[in-house]
Structure 1
Amino acid sequence: MPSMFRPRVLAAGLCLATAVALAAAAVLRPAPAGAQAGDDSVALAEVMLTRLNEVRRDNGLAPYRVNPILTRIAFEHARDIAAHTMYSHTGSDGRKAKQRAIDAGYGAGRAGLRIGENFVARQHLDDGFQWLMDDPPHRANMLDPKFREVGVGAARMSYGYVWVMDLGWYEGIDDVLAAPPTAVPPTAAPTEPPTATPLPTATETPVLPTATPSPTASPMAPPTAEAQGSAPAAG
């Protein structure tokens, strides 16, 4: 009798585990620009990424490293598909996946850039992932040993969700991934130039005006008769 209830218990446990995984994914990674409050597409993209890397490991391949640029363009294309109900690698603006990656700055202009893209629209994630694995071209992209980085996005549609995977590689990517982060030297505090101390101003000693000596009165000689005679007559 107890065995009749075991499948239901296991199913309930799986549902609970999935719910916990979705909640944890939503908390651990911030929502990309454009995500709406209450939208679980971010968490569903995380679960799809986890499934993708599990399959990589199962096939002896290194897991994908998440790249923020690829993640951004994957979310943008997923929202574009959902908004226009179009199922194409070409966006509503006419750009394909590689051009979107270049325009976003992926690879920083390095040679040999390769971009692969998968997308699938389904009501449930498990169905969507299984369809990708069953379709040879999409499976080949997911298990391509040369691709090293990925961005996974998702968007809600009227009847379910659409998931987009953007896969990337460029020449020298292994060196870039292996390089330790460049230490940024501390910025020296700006040194203010020393303030010039003004020299003391010499105090000018007021120069007092020199008194002009009064002319000494010379004793006048009494007028002579000649002098008197030379005076003009008053008329």
Structure 2
Amino acid sequence: MSLRFAIVIAIVSLLPRPVFAQGNNHGPEQTLFRSANRERTAQGLPPLKWNNALAAAARQHALRLAQQDTLSHQFPGEPDLAGRVAQAGARFSTIAENIAEGPDAESIHEQWMKSPPHRRNLLDPQVDSVGISVAERNGALFAVEDFSLAGGALSLQDQEKVVAAQLQSRGLRLLNYTDDARRTCALDNGFAGNHRPSFVLHYATADLQELPDMLDQRIQTGRYHGAAIGACPSGSKFGSSMYRVAVLLYE
């Protein structure tokens, strides 16, 4: 889904140079930030808020792009987008990323707007925050935009709704056993409640939109037809950037 907008011909051993725009209203990061909000305003969408944690995650990935001299949303040994953003301390319920290489910020933004998936990220009404970073190598700019719907204010009920939507999209019927699921969530393992499930999964995640592989595999067996979801405070064990969830599956 990514576009490489310029090809670096000369290959040298120079390390990439970060081009960070903090305190500089004319740097490439601020240019991309202003351009994104200009496009959103033109579409009647609220402007994105700058998020320092997202910018920190974008910075680490932009440096990797420049070091590798190639475009990828994840390199071997690197956490995925959700992991990078969580490590940087951001909490979210939706996450997306644009990456590109180009000669300048204006060209990069223009090409993103011409690419349907990148344009969708820029104009997504379901995101409200962004962090942007740019690194330079051999005169080429490697840019990363990380978008999110900030999740700090999500209630437990809202967290459960996000997970519930993922389960419903997989054909499961939601059961009104939320109290059981929330009591179960507060445990390290096992089940608490009156309606014993066939399968229980406790997990902590930075991205509520993504179900754990183990849960997906269980659902795909076709054995389960109902589910209950419970969220609970993450506490110091998991950190403020993570959500804590229990999913109960019923045959």
TM range (shorter): 0.5 to 0.7
Count of residue pairs brought into register by the alignment: 135
Alignment match of 1:70 (pick from 35, 45, 54): 54
Q: Distance in 2 between matches of 1:173 and 1:52?
A: 24
Relative to structure 1, the CA distance from residue 170 to residue 146 in structure 2 (aligned partners, 3 Å threshold; closer, same or farther) is: same
Q: Deviations over 1:91-122 (max 9, x none)?
A: 45332211101122211xx6xx2210001100
Relative to structure 1, the CA distance from residue 73 to residue 97 in structure 2 (aligned partners, 3 Å threshold; closer, same or farther) is: same
- The equivalent residue for 1:147 is 127
Q: CA RMSD in A?
A: 2.2
Report matched runs for 1:1-235 at 5 Å.
27-28=23-24, 43-107=27-91, 113-171=93-151, 173=153
2:29 touches 2:105 (CA, 8 Å); kept in 1? no
Q: Distance in 1 between matches of 2:39 and 2:84?
A: 27
- The equivalent residue for 1:5 is none
**SS at structure 2 position matched to 1:151:** strand
Unaligned runs of 5+ in 1: 1-24, 30-41, 176-235
Q: Deviations over 1:147-187 (max 9, x none)?
A: 01100100002241011100011446489xxxxxxxxxxxx
**SS at structure 1 position matched to 2:113:** helix
Using the TM superposition, give the Cα deviation of residue 124 of structure 1 relative to its aligned residue in structure 2, in angstroms.
Answer: 2.3
Relative to structure 1, the CA distance from residue 174 to residue 61 in structure 2 (aligned partners, 3 Å threshold; closer, same or farther) is: farther
Q: Distance in 2 between matches of 1:101 and 1:26?
A: 19
Q: Which protein is bigger by CA-based radius of gyration?
A: 1
1:49 touches 1:152 (CA, 8 Å); kept in 2? yes
Using the TM superposition, give the Cα deviation of residue 81 of structure 1 relative to its aligned residue in structure 2, in angstroms.
Answer: 0.5
Q: Deviations over 1:12-41 (max 9, x none)?
A: xxxxxxxxxxxxx66457xxxxxxxxxxxx
Using the TM superposition, give the Cα deviation of residue 128 of structure 1 relative to its aligned residue in structure 2, in angstroms.
Answer: 1.0
Relative to structure 1, the CA distance from residue 76 to residue 129 in structure 2 (aligned partners, 3 Å threshold; closer, same or farther) is: same
**SS at structure 1 position matched to 2:27:** helix
Q: Deviations over 1:49-94 (max 9, x none)?
A: 1111111111101110011100111111111100111210004533
Q: Which structure is higher in strand share?
A: 2
AA in 2 matched with 1:136: P
AA in 2 matched with 1:166: D
AA in 1 matched with 2:124: D
Q: Which structure is higher in helix share?
A: 1
- The equivalent residue for 2:204 is none
1:80 touches 1:92 (CA, 8 Å); kept in 2? no
Of 87-96 and 97-106, more deviation after overlay is shown by 87-96
Runs of 4+ in 1 over 6 A off after TM superposition: none
Unaligned runs of 5+ in 2: 1-20, 156-251
